[in-house]
Structure 1
Amino acid sequence: MDEHEKNKEFYKNCTKYFEFLRKVGKTDYEFEDEYYFTMPAISNR
């Protein structure tokens, strides 16, 4: 699996995780901060 595939998989999983959090009415700010901080670096490849 190349880097691009891994990133797409990661992105899909994050989207599911955020949807799940919204459904149960919770937030994970630590993860969100990490996610939004690293996403630009990942998507620029």
Structure 2
Amino acid sequence: VVKPLYAEDKINKEFYVNCLAYFDALRKSGKSDDAFEDEYFFTLPAVSGSNLDY
């Protein structure tokens, strides 16, 4: 099933907002989640439709 682009964009934005909240909670508690952080930064370009090529 192909989702409309706006539906996919909404999901991507929700993912981004949730990740920021998670990272903020980790910082406030003095904890880290290096494995998730690595995965997030490798996944974000694909989710956002951009790439890391400069």
Do they superpose with TM above 0.5? yes
Indicate whether 1:13 and 2:18 are aligned.
yes
Match of 2:8 among 3, 7, 10: 3
Larger radius of gyration: 2
Q: Greater share of helix residues, 1 or 2?
A: 1
Point out which structure has higher relative CO (alpha carbons under 8 A, 6+ apart). 1
Cα separation, 2, equivalents of 1:43 and 1:7: 7
Cα separation, 2, equivalents of 1:7 and 1:44: 10
Q: 1:44 Cα shift?
A: 1.2
Paired residues, what number?
45
List gaps (5 residues or longer) in structure 2: 1-5
Indicate whether 1:33 and 2:51 are aligned.
no
Structure 1 runs of 4+ aligned residues shifted over 4 Å read none
RMSD: 1.4
The alignment's TM-score, normalised by the length of structure 2, stands at: 0.77
